[in-house]
Amino acid sequence: MCDTFVALGSATHNDNVIFGKNSDRPYNERQPVVYIPKQKHNSNIDLKCTYISIPQVEETNAVLLSKPSWMWGAEMGANEYNVVIGNEAIFDTREPMWPPSLLGMDLVRLALERSSTAAQAVHLMCDLLETYGQGGFCAENDPTLMYHNSFLIADPTEAWVLETVGKWWIGQQIKDGIRNISNRLSIRSEYTISRNGIIDYAIEQGYCDNEAEFDFAKCFTKGTYLEPSRYSREGWGKHLLRSNYGEISPIIMMEILRDHFGGICMHGAFRTTASQVSNISKNKAVHWMTGSPHPCISFFKPFVVPTQKDPSECDIFELREKFNLLENDSLVQELHSLEQELIQNIEQKLQTDNWSIADIQYLTQEALNRELSLISL
């Protein structure tokens, strides 16, 4: 399922880029926060992704990932160059599923490890897609869960929506304002880049009659393409972004991810397993990760990349599962009060030159200690 959001420039409270994503996954799947430092590699060896191997590169970036524990790839994350990426499952397309190759989550991690800008990440993902394709089971114990992918990629200056079906892709650049994606194709006739031959292919397949009629979402969606209802997750998410235009901050993005009216915070057999909010400027970025299910009851903790501490120390997924916060309103309120205090503290630090990675690392550890003490009572 999933929802991913971005607000840039005039849409935010401080002209930064604010990114947010909920990862909605099968109920029993574990999704910890993982940090992988910058590494050098032997480029003559292959890299084993979830299902296939591809050539390794000589050096990979430091990355912070929120990843299902059984797969190589990641649902969302950030790198040391302040690039952030989240992916979405796309089901209702006219194109068949591919045999096991790269998962959309593999593409997320590969782009974070190998790119220093959002545009570079987009081009890398497109090259990998054309070379290897996408496909394979997307859940550990469910061979029926397979899908194509869309992505929202952002850096300190811009964002991109990249939508893919098989080896076909199309991209839309966002320089200002708001954008969100859910589990459907959304790029219509206004796009920035596309795979060579995509219009000819759509005409050959009978998806449209001529170049003037080419509409990516309409052409590649199975059945009749309809604009999302305001009360769908995608439509309601767009409404929440518009309602807060000019004031969007990390706190507001967290509130959007916690929304139940539109089903953005998901409960049930598929649930919101983990969440991320990133506040990005040219030289500074703080990434707030829950590392636990349901943002409505979770505590967003701050991280920076690169870091000197291993965020695996913040892996509280199992502990949170044993502690049912759904039935403890007062404790949730206390966690959220602590969260807002932390955000305001860090926002003040980011506005000054007196800022260091060590400051955030200290606050991260303090936040974790406070969270653990509260849920262990």
Query: Mean pLDDT over residues 159-166, rounded?
Result: 97
Query: Does 354 have pLDDT greater than 80?
Result: no
Percent of the chain exceeding pLDDT 90 equals 69
Query: Mean pLDDT over residues 191-212, rounded?
Result: 96
What's residue 295's pLDDT? 94
Whether 95 and 220 have beta carbons less than 8 Å apart is answered as yes
What's residue 334's pLDDT? 87
Could you tell me how far CA 81 lies from the centroid of its own chain? 16
- Give pLDDT tens digits for 29-75: 999 999 999 999 987 899 999 999 999 999 999 999 999 999 999 99
* pLDDT band for position 177 (cuts 50, 70, 90): very high
Tokens of 307: 């870091």
* Residue ranges of domains in the chain, CATH in brackets: 3-318 (3.60.60.10)
Query: Mean pLDDT over residues 335-342, rounded?
Result: 88
Query: Mean pLDDT over residues 335-355, rounded?
Result: 83
Query: Mean pLDDT over residues 203-218, rounded?
Result: 95
* pLDDT band for position 350 (cuts 50, 70, 90): confident
Of residues 333 and 308, the one with the higher pLDDT is 333
Whether 155 and 83 have beta carbons less than 8 Å apart is answered as yes
* pLDDT band for position 84 (cuts 50, 70, 90): very high
Q: What is the mean pLDDT of the chain?
A: 91
What predicted TM-score, i.e. pTM, was given to this entire model?
0.94
Distance (Å) of CA 39 to CA 124, 152, 328, 371: 19, 25, 43, 32
Among residues 2, 138, 219, 265, the one annotated as catalytic is: 2
C-alpha 106/C-alpha 323 separation (Å) is 31
Check residue 212 and report its DSSP letter.
G
What's residue 359's pLDDT? 80
C-alpha 17/C-alpha 373 separation (Å) is 33
Q: Is residue 2 flagged as an active site residue? A: yes
What's residue 373's pLDDT? 82
Nearest alpha-carbon partner for 168 in 146, 187, 143, 144: 187
Query: Does 78 have pLDDT greater than 90?
Result: yes
C-alpha 277/C-alpha 289 separation (Å) is 7
- Give pLDDT tens digits for 280-304: 988 889 999 999 999 998 989 999 9
What's residue 82's pLDDT? 96
